[in-house]
Structure 1
């Protein structure tokens, strides 16, 4: 169907419903994200389609997909929603807190948040811990978070259309091993030494597919396999229990916090890098976000985070990286 020549003014609520379904490609998940009943969400989508005179989604019993008209509408919907959010923020009595997902306590970007608080002491920057950039990105687009850190290039391109990003760090990767693992006595673990191992990298966790994809790219051709899905460990004691029971090495980064019953060892030969970016909703205006971006740039320059080590490994064709070559 073609777009009608004179559509009525469209309510932002309908566009928000459309954007949520476009992100999730699943009506039940989109409804949960917006805290509405699925029937109400479906009614809003049907109403939007009637007002535009266009079918926006192809729905089958097995999947939901955007039509060409839906793909055409998506960037306009994102722009309208960003403008609505900016208008609301402009007329607040005072700037609301900036909600920043840090993924896990102890990582390098926790220090970025602390520096941003020093740069903007008059503003509130609130930490959240969502475990995975894909999960955080969905919440950013839904308005439940403002910013997060992670592998921007590993996000679904549909999510990236509504986001902006600033590269922060080349983060060296590491492996978490049971204390009595044969490789635990090494100061650093060569990738070749993991040949024949299954390594857990979040497989099956719908919040972290960008991390699982990074692992699969790193392991390809090295005889290492991504371990099958496992229950997500929440808290140090659950991590210890699962490590003792399953004894599966876990892919991590060098700043991963210490866990009981295990050791953390950097990976080498080559040093694999996890590219970390600061990610926020496109069009977001907030003085605390300006401070967060300034803190990331300042620390990146001071700590050498923006220099890629010579001979290191990165995924091919990664989006969102600096144009510089290896240092």
Structure 2
């Protein structure tokens, strides 16, 4: 019994073409092969099957009963083979496949939603799985290859195995009790918050953002005394409402967290801000990730063109100068 091989797929293709034309010369022209060679291939196929597929005559050929029976099955096999090749190519080029993307809760919507939705619309055959976390956890999970891409708050660690694309800058705002005298101001300056008790989050959630935010507000390397620690923004704002101090959050997060008794005030120029980026492991071979990176780059470029922002940011990783101001151990429960 004949078994299907790559050569026999070619035989099936030849057979179907001759069956369509019922003429060797026309079939050879369609196939771009020599007519004698085509005739030999059909005869070889018939010998392998042990049956005649065509009855030859002076005007051309006609299908035998065996050929008539084989024709629909041959068309189906060739169509399935073409579909299998197309499917492999779609996965190989990233047009289909799977992609795991982790979000950061400090950026609940805006450009994050735009990027994910744009990618899903452009690549409906890619299954996108979403999760969430904070920057330090994202760096770990990227290196463990449990996720493909993550929204992060740069600067990242000094290792070179991660690539990231900045997509936006987001202003920092001050959250304070409604009864705080600062609430009477429309705009704040860093000097206004110096000495105020600070409600803050653990540095291990994202050391780059932690340092960058405090550097801009208090001065490079200067670390305020932390009056109260909380693991994530909502808990921080509840502590502010209880009068434990002030805190700082991104403007986007402030828009989604309305806590009774808490008001937000922006800074005067130059406004402190934090970047948002998408990071991935440089040697991740997932073809769908390359497509996602293209979407990220295109969306970030459109955002910069429509809302001009600094195109280059200089970050400096500053070791905390007052380790005693950090808690000895804070449960990791909130993303950054």
TM-score scaled by structure 2? 0.55
Partner of 1:61: none
3-state SS of 1:117 partner: helix
1:209 to 203, 207, 210: 207
Q: CA deviation at 1:137?
A: 0.5
Partner of 1:300: 300
* 1:221-275 per-position Cα deviation (integer Å, ceiling 9, x unaligned): 49882625613147x4x45532333532222222112231223333223112212
1:248 to 245, 248, 253: 245
CA distance in 1, matches of 2:267, 2:194: 13
1:308-327 equivalences under 5 Å are 308=309
Partner of 2:285: 285
Closer, same or farther in 2 for the Cα pair 1:219/1:285, shift >3 Å? same
Closer, same or farther in 2 for the Cα pair 1:184/1:107, shift >3 Å? farther
1:84-233 equivalences under 5 Å are 95-104=97-106, 105-106=108-109, 108-130=111-133, 132-153=134-155, 155-158=156-159, 161-202=160-201, 204-221=202-219, 225=224, 227=226, 230-233=229-232
Q: CA deviation at 1:163?
A: 0.9
Give the conservation status (yes or no) of the 8 Å contact 1:173–1:266.
yes
* 1:123-181 per-position Cα deviation (integer Å, ceiling 9, x unaligned): 12222221x3122101111122221122332x2213xx221111212222222222333
TM-score scaled by structure 1? 0.56
3-state SS of 2:97 partner: coil
CA distance in 1, matches of 2:212, 2:157: 13
3-state SS of 2:248 partner: strand
Bigger Cα Rg: 2
* 1:163-214 per-position Cα deviation (integer Å, ceiling 9, x unaligned): 1111212222222222333223444333232222243442x34222222211
Closer, same or farther in 2 for the Cα pair 1:137/1:239, shift >3 Å? same
CA distance in 1, matches of 2:229, 2:139: 23
CA distance in 2, matches of 1:245, 1:129: 28
Partner of 1:10: none
CA distance in 2, matches of 1:263, 1:175: 8
Q: CA deviation at 1:297?
A: 2.7
Structure 2 gap segments, 5+ residues each:
1-90, 318-336
Closer, same or farther in 2 for the Cα pair 1:118/1:227, shift >3 Å? farther
How many residues matched?
A: 220
Give the conservation status (yes or no) of the 8 Å contact 1:239–1:259.
no
RMSD: 3.4
Which consecutive segments of 4 or more residues in structure 1 shift more than 6 A?
A: none
Give the conservation status (yes or no) of the 8 Å contact 2:166–2:300.
no
CA distance in 2, matches of 1:244, 1:301: 39
CA distance in 2, matches of 1:151, 1:248: 24
